[in-house]
Amino acid sequence: MNLKSFKKRRGMVSRADLFLLLQMFPKENFTHIAEMLGYYKRLRRNKRDFTNPTLAFSRQRIIEHKVEETFEDERGLTESKLKAFYWYPVLRERVDEPSSSPLMIEELGDGHFPQLKKIPPPPFVPIQSWSAVWPKLRNFLSQKVSSHDLEEKRVIELIATAKALSSIPRKKRKKWARQLTIIVDYSKRNFPFWSDYNLVIANLTRLLGKDRVKVFYSRTDDLTLLTNDSDQINIFECLSEKDVLLILSDLGAYGEDAERILWQHYSDLFHQKRVKPTVLTPVPKRAWNVHLAKTMHVIEFSDSSSNILNQNEPKLVEQLLSLCSLAVRVEPQLLRALRQLIPNSDIGIEGVCWNHIDMDTACLACSLSLSARKKYQNLLIESDFPLSLVFKAKEIIKLYHGWLPPEIQLEEEVTQVGILNMRGEMVDCHYELALSKNAKHYLGWMKFQREKVKQNKSVQEWAKRMGFRQHKSVLGVSGANILVQYLAEVFQESSVTSDFPEVISENDLAFAKNRQEALVRTLQIKQVGGSLLLEAENIQSGEGQNPVLIEIEVQERLEIKKGENNTERLLVQDAIEVDLPRNGSISLRSSKEVIELSAMQKPDWAESIYQLLDGLYATLPLNDSKIKWIMNSFKEVEKYNPLLGKSDKQLAIVERGDWVNISQLERLKGIQDLNMSWAIDSGIDQYGLFADMELLGVVQRMRWINSGEFLMGSSLDELGRTEFEDQFYVILTNGFWMADTTCTNALWTAVMEEKAVISDSNRMLPVTGVSWEECRIFLSRLSHLIGDYGFVLPSEAQWEYACRAGVDTAYSFGNHIDDTQANFYEEELTGDRRQGGSGVKAVKEFPCNQWGLFQMHGNVWEWCADWYAPYPKEKSVDYTGSVKGGEHVLRGGSYFSTASGIRSASRGRLDLDVKFGSQGFRFAIV
């Protein structure tokens, strides 16, 4: 079958087409043929050879939580591949929440609910007084009528033209309309202004008379269906050109887009009827609809007290909502009183707040939603909100809520005192508000009601609502533990729900169940596919085993947080499954500890990561060290090295996850006394043990190099080798500390007490142009400043051993090197010198080797302690070169060296007093 007939029969391109073409064309055309048919070469990824049977376990179905990763080849073609995410702990913090067990406080009363004297609220305060409103209305709600005064100019004109006077011209004057029609917008969004509308209607009726005023109202913005006490009309069917019409409305400004569009449609209908209505609106001019303002006479209820810019309005709205969070409910008059506390606010802020998305609005009052209430209460505590406004708001709420049931008033007092006291601590104001006598009796009543709450379902429902309204600041109020225990009694009965107020801890729930000490359980956290599984140790889930990521101590409740606005609370069971987010982190909080887990991806320094039953591991290129992800408490490290586990750091409250070189930890076991008294800090990471020393603000990191043995020199087939690099076996019996970088300008200046000013850009460059003798003087002064801890130049054997970092290739990175790994001339590799001659680079600009040492290849030559001499033929223990000579050894090459000159085995030599611009050094501690 030929290719043409095959394609005709199939009607599509398949792999068979490619096979036929491969037989017809030479091999050099394969790539182009594949591209024409829609195929391209699959990218190969470096894979670790899992020859160890224990490592082969990582290929089992442990992790199935995958995301799509896109690769791009040299032609710009892309290939998608699924990449696994390992979730691992990055933070553990001990919290040990104290129990809020009931404590006796003074003056709790006899257990009877306090009876408060009801105080009527203050009288209604309109947006603006009637004396200021009616002059604005008269200009538009009036008609011209004849007066008794002659219009002299018109009379003279008629007489001059000898025309007969059919009537005597008289002057016109404005007078209130004989008939006035008023349309009132009683929609929910206008509820804060209903009283203002009613006041205008009452005054106009008193002024014009009841017979001359017709009032129609709408609750749905439908002007085709208006009602009054007796009639139901369509306003557009009964309007005439001479009618005078007044509308009291926001014209949809505080509503949705559909409501604003509807009012714009009504304005067009009025225009068709040749009627230009007058609108008295509680909307400031900045929010007016331009089209409506042209087709209607729009009058603002009050002239804005300030010219509020649009960008300032959200902040004023936020301030008003924050003050509203101090009250259980907010009536229109309270909202207005709170708004008037805020400088430069106007009636528009009031309308926006009433209709805000965070407000739950009812027919007579509104209240903040539970989640929004906590947000705005936190703003009162944590932001720069004026403290004086909070105190004034507290008094105004008390004044306007004196007529409400006592449970509302007293709940508000407890909340306000808690917030103000916590805010006082935040701003370091030394005051503490105390509860009133009635508020203490309120808490006392709760104490006596804790056992009876199960009997009254209505009280239970009220207590639940009240509990979710409580802010964590109430825990700082004296006697609030009674409130907490009362809520615990309510919620411990509600075992069907997993949501609890934030003021209740697990110990509170445990105490509510009459247990002196809550039962502490340990759950193992495992990853199974795209979920976390929390289960007791004796529970076996599914087939096979999954690694235990970490264990968490819990009691009865567990809080799980995924992102800022995704928090759920669960009752602890033997097994809990939690869906993992696609990215970011997940936090688990119990009464004992907080554990944060994050999606783990392969670090840049690692060749690969893999998972075993006992944890997550990583590998370094060309290195067989075991690097494990652990929580870096010294208690955890003690499993691998008891010597390091004796540190006081194991008592730390906060533990953070990190990569730790387990292989080096285990090799440290044989060291009896590892002196690090010169260090200001120490730790263990993926490269091993490190310690930091400091001098005059300059920090130098030292890396511990374990004792060991290696082949020093280069093999006969190594590219670029010289005759002075014959290999021989070296044994180093003692470990030593090696500086992770060459000595910097900053450290040199600090030690040598030079007064030269170093720019920020030069501080981290290596010091250059120093002789061997000057290095010896530097180390002597360093010992004098810090202590005689054995600061030396490394021997040539120590230097090459540290440079190779356990590999036997030409470079610590392999047998090849490029300009992303070192600073050197590249003429041997590329035929040009595009990087050579650019000078020295910062000491950490290029990657480190497998033992954490930076730029052992290139940048600057490094002095060694040894005299230069030919290598011995036989094995050497602690090789230190010749006992005397004329030149000292330099190692590592420089930015002016070629690739062969920066090999691990490459050697240089100079007289001890010679200085060049490419010479530097790094020191060791032995």
Which secondary structure element, helix H or strand E, spans residue 524, and what is its range?
A: strand 521-528
> Which amino acid, residue 221?
D
Crossing angle between the packed helical segments 332-339 and 313-324, to the nearest 10 degrees:
120
59, part of any domain: no
As given in the structure block, the two tokens for residue 115 are 């009876």
Question: Does 272 share its domain with 213?
Answer: yes
Q: For residue 582, what pLDDT is reported? A: 74
**Under 8 Å between Cβ of 704 and 688:** yes
533, part of any domain: yes
Q: What's the domain range around 216?
A: 177-300
105, part of any domain: no
Per-range mean pLDDT, top range of 265-269, 335-339, 662-666, 759-763: 335-339
pLDDT in tens, 66-94: 444 443 443 343 333 334 578 888 888 88
Question: Does 745 share its domain with 861?
Answer: yes
pLDDT in tens, 847-867: 999 999 999 999 999 999 999
pLDDT in tens, 871-888: 998 999 999 888 888 899
The percent of the chain in helix, strand and coil, each rounded to the nearest 5, is: 30, 25, 45
Residue 775 clears pLDDT 80, i.e. is over it = yes
Q: What is the 3-state secondary structure (H, E, C) of 785-806?
A: HHCCCCEECCCHHHHHHHHHCC
Question: Does 917 share its domain with 840?
Answer: yes
Q: Taking all residues of the chain, what is their mean pLDDT, rounded to a whole number? A: 78
Query: Looking at residue 816, which CATH number applies to its domain?
Result: 3.90.1580.10
**Residue ending a domain, choose from 404, 437, 462:** 404
833, part of any domain: yes
> Which amino acid, residue 557?
R
**Under 8 Å between Cβ of 187 and 153:** no
As given in the structure block, the two tokens for residue 878 are 């602690």
The pTM score is 0.52
Compute and round to an integer the Cα radius of gyration of the chain: 42
Residue 460 clears pLDDT 80, i.e. is over it = no
Query: How long, in residues, is the chain?
Result: 926
728, part of any domain: yes
| Cβ-based neighbours of 236, under 8 Å, separated by 6 or more | 223, 224, 269, 273
Q: For residue 67, what pLDDT is reported? A: 40
**pLDDT > 90: what percent of the chain?**
29
Query: Looking at residue 192, which CATH number applies to its domain?
Result: 3.40.50.410
Pair type for strands 180-185 and 213-218: parallel
pLDDT in tens, 190-240: 999 999 999 999 999 998 888 888 888 888 777 777 777 667 778 887 777
Higher pLDDT, 597 or 569: 597
User: Could you report how far apart the first and last alpha carbons of the chain are, in Å?
Assistant: 79
Residue 100 clears pLDDT 50, i.e. is over it = no
From CA 480, how far away is CA 417, in angstroms rounded? 11
As given in the structure block, the two tokens for residue 449 are 């009601």
Question: Does 379 share its domain with 441?
Answer: no
From CA 180, how far away is CA 604, in angstroms rounded? 80
Question: Does 330 share its domain with 184?
Answer: no
pLDDT grade for 766, boundaries at 50, 70 and 90: very high
> Which amino acid, residue 639?
K
883, part of any domain: yes
- DSSP string covering 700-748, please? EEEEEE--EEEEESB-TTSTT--TT-B-EEEEE-S-EEEESSPPBHHHH
Question: Does 469 share its domain with 533?
Answer: no
Question: Does 317 share its domain with 265?
Answer: no
- Of the listed ranges 254-258, 538-542, 702-706, the least confidently predicted one is 538-542
Q: For residue 326, what pLDDT is reported? A: 93
Pair type for strands 213-218 and 924-925: unpaired
Question: Does 261 share its domain with 377?
Answer: no
DSSP character at residue 450 = T
736, part of any domain: yes
- Of the listed ranges 108-117, 148-157, 709-718, 744-753, the least confidently predicted one is 108-117
Q: Which of 246, 248, 244, 321 is nearest to 283 (CA)?
A: 248
pLDDT grade for 425, boundaries at 50, 70 and 90: low
**Residue ending a domain, choose from 404, 439, 472:** 404
Which secondary structure element, helix H or strand E, spans residue 698, and what is its range?
A: strand 698-705
pLDDT grade for 356, boundaries at 50, 70 and 90: very high
Question: Does 323 share its domain with 431?
Answer: no
Question: Does 737 share its domain with 803?
Answer: yes
168, part of any domain: no
> Which amino acid, residue 74?
E
How many structural domains comprise the chain? 6
Question: Does 856 share its domain with 792?
Answer: yes
Pair type for strands 180-185 and 359-361: unpaired
**Residue ending a domain, choose from 300, 331, 363:** 300
Question: Does 197 share its domain with 215?
Answer: yes
